[in-house]
Amino acid sequence: MKVEDILNRCAALIAQGQKVLSTRRPPPPNVASDDNVDDALFAEWKASAFSFLRLVFGEEHTHFKLFNASVKCAYLHSVIEGVGILKAALADLKAGFLGKVQELVAAGIFVDFLEQASHLMEAGYKDAAASITGAVLEDGLRRIASTRNITVKSTDDLSALNHKLADGLVYNRLMQKKIQVWNDIRNSAAHGKFGEYKAEDVKEMIVAVESFLGAHLQA
């Protein structure tokens, strides 16, 4: 899923909500109630918008919480509030939350590669798994540096990236040492020094790298 797709999806949900608003109808005679909208269109739009906000922003974000609290039934005022929340979400995505979305997309890609590494481990290919995990980690560090405005060079390797991120206080020196251990395993795999690490070391590395990137690409 590309970032442009996320922006376009949010815009489409706003348009869909406005279509729901166009189905406005008064309540039955002698019924004191807000104007209604088409039940089926409302239900489809609500489910789609709810899923979108939860996926992109998370359940603890204000946009998701407001939508969940405000958009309950097929009433006109509910849809008006829901469309307003989606417009605010789109504005945030364009004005500053875009980097966050890019991190989320990247995190999804990392998970796919690390799952491949896990499958290689299960098949007994610890050296290939170590190489893939190291490559994912290096690319992840580069992305983290970019989102934290830390200057890096295209020639910086994993060790250099690790040093710059620690110096930039993205994480502490203890984490820097842990990453260096993972880098050592990756380098040993790349240079054919397969006896310098065990399968259990790679298995632990995969789990730790996934946890690390998940925390720093979605924080």
- ∠ CA(215), CA(218), CA(219), 5° rounding? 70
- At residue 147, the pLDDT reads 83
Instruction: Please compute the mean of the pLDDT values over residues 35-49 and round it to a whole number.
Output: 93
Around 117, how many Cα atoms within 13 Å sit in the side-chain half-sphere?
Answer: 27
The confidence band for 86, taking pLDDT boundaries of 50, 70 and 90, is: very high
The confidence band for 8, taking pLDDT boundaries of 50, 70 and 90, is: confident
Higher pLDDT, 157 or 96: 157
Question: Where do the structural domains in the chain lie, given as residue ranges?
Answer: 3-96, 124-217
Write the pLDDT tens digit of every residue in 145-187.
988 889 999 899 999 999 999 999 999 999 999 999 999 999 9
- At residue 103, the pLDDT reads 60
Contacts 24+ apart (CB under 8 A), 88-96: 88/63, 89/10, 89/53, 89/56, 89/57, 89/63, 90/7, 90/10, 90/11, 90/14, 92/63, 93/6, 93/7, 93/10, 93/56, 94/7
In the predicted structure, residue 18 carries a pLDDT above the cut 90: yes
Average pLDDT, the chain: 87
Judge contact between 67 and 85, C-beta under 8 A. yes
